[in-house]
Amino acid sequence: MKFLDEAKIYIRSGDGGNGIVAFRREKFIEFGGPNGGDGGKGGDVWVEGVDGLNTLIDYRYQVHFKAQKGQHGMGQNRAGAKGDDVVLKVPAGTEVLDEDGETLIADISAVGQRVLLMKGGNGGFGNAHFKTSTNRAPRHANPGLEGRERWIRLRLKLIADAGLVGLPNAGKSTFLATVTSAKPKIADYPFTTLHPGLGVVRVGTREFVLADIPGLIEGAHEGAGLGDRFLGHVERCRVLLHLVDGSYGDAGEAYRVVRGELDAYGAGLEDKTEIVALSKADALDEETRDRQLAALAEACGQTPLLLSSASGFGMPEALNRLADTIRESRREEAMAEPQDAWRPSLD
C-alpha cells in the first residue's frame, strides 16, 4: 500500500428538507385543517479514528465527500427522513486542519475517537407547525436550511513511542528490521527509505512502537534531500534514538548536522529525550571506534552507545534504554493527568 500522509478534501453537510403545505381532506371530516409535515435534517460530517489504517491513501482517489440531504415533509403530518451522515475514517494520529494548513480543527489521537466536523442543515417547518387559534389554516411552510461546505486538510502523524533519526545510510532501516517484524527496504545507497516505517519491539514483557524516519541531510529544513516533511511523524514520540554511522568521516559532525535540522524544525523535537548511538560497530577497528566515540561524545554531551544491527552487538542495551525511557515517560504522563475528585466508597 502506498504511503500518503497528507490530503486535501472537500466536505459538505446535507441540506435540510423543506416543510410542505398540505391539508387534511377526508370524507366526513368537515374541518380537516393543516397537516403538512416538517422536513428532515441534513446529514452531518464526522471524522473517526479506526484501526487497521496507517495511511491516507483512500483520500487520494476520492476528494469530495457530501452528506445526504434531508427528505421533504409529507402530508398527514409525516416528517421527512434525516439524511445519512458522512464519516471520514482515518488512522489514529491524524490532524484535521483548515484549508490554510495551520488552523487545527481536530486531532484524532486514538482509535474510536469521533469528532463532528460539520452539522447538517435543519429541516423546514410544515404548515401544521404554524397552526394557532387565530390562524387555523396557515398556507406557508419553511424551506430547509442549506448545509455547509469547506475544504480541509488531513495530516497524518504516526503514533510511535520511539523514533529513529540520523543521516541517510546510518543503519536505521537495518535496526528496525532487526528488532521488529517490519521489512523495510535496505540497500547501500542514500535515501533507500522514502517514507516512514513502523514496527513493534518486544523487550521481555514490554512492548513499544518504533518509527523509522527517512534520513536527514544538511539543509533539510530548506527542502534539501527529502526535506523535513516526515519529521512530523516523530513529534508524538517519547524518545529519539539518534544513530550515527561509525564509518562516517567525523561522527561528531554527523551528529551536529542532524541535531541542527531537528532544532530548526522545532515542534518540541529539540526538547525530546535523545539516546545517541554509534552504529556499524562491526565495521570499525579499535582505533577508529575509540576516535569516533570520543568525537560523538563531545558533540552530544553524553556517553553514546555502541551497537551493530548486523551482528547484534550492543542491541539489548539500546532496546532496554529505550524501553526504560518510554516506561518512565508513561509514568510521568499518568501522574500529570488530573485525578477525579470523587472516589467510590470501599465500604
Q: Which pLDDT belongs to residue 48?
A: 93
Q: Which pLDDT belongs to residue 78?
A: 93
Q: Which pLDDT belongs to residue 262?
A: 81
Q: What is the mean pLDDT of the chain?
A: 83
Give the separation between CA 64 and CA 68, rounded to whole angstroms: 13
Q: Which pLDDT belongs to residue 345?
A: 43
Phi and psi (nearest 5°) for 139? -115, 35
Tally Cβ neighbours within 10 Å of residue 184. 19
Cβ atoms of residues 6 and 112 within 8 Å: no
Classify residue 244 by its DSSP letter.
E
Q: Which pLDDT belongs to residue 347?
A: 38
Q: Which pLDDT belongs to residue 144?
A: 93
pLDDT-derived band at 290, boundaries 50, 70, 90:
confident
Question: Starting at the edge strand that comes first in sequence, how are the strands of the sheet with 149-156 ordered?
Answer: 64-66, 6-12, 149-156, 94-98, 104-108
Give the separation between CA 228 and CA 220, rounded to whole angstroms: 5
pLDDT, mean of residues 23-28: 85
Q: Kindly tell me if the per-residue pLDDT of 228 is higher than 70.
A: no
Q: Kindly tell me if the per-residue pLDDT of 333 is higher than 80.
A: no
Q: Kindly tell me if the per-residue pLDDT of 236 is higher than 60.
A: yes
Q: What cell does 48 get?
A: 473517526
Closest by alpha carbon to 198, among 163, 146, 169, 227?
A: 163
Ordered domains of the chain (ranges, CATH): 6-156 (2.70.210.12), 162-336 (3.40.50.300)
Q: Which pLDDT belongs to residue 202?
A: 85
- The model's pLDDT over 53-65, given as tens digits with 9 standing for 90+, comes to 878 888 988 999 9
Of the listed ranges 148-162, 180-194, 276-290, the one predicted with least confidence:
180-194
Tally Cβ neighbours within 10 Å of residue 60. 13
Q: Kindly tell me if the per-residue pLDDT of 1 is higher than 50.
A: no
- The model's pLDDT over 115-164, given as tens digits with 9 standing for 90+, comes to 999 999 999 999 999 999 899 889 999 999 999 999 999 988 877 788 88
E-state strands within the chain: 6-12, 45-50, 64-66, 86-91, 94-98, 104-108, 114-118, 149-156, 162-165, 197-203, 206-212, 239-245, 273-279, 305-306
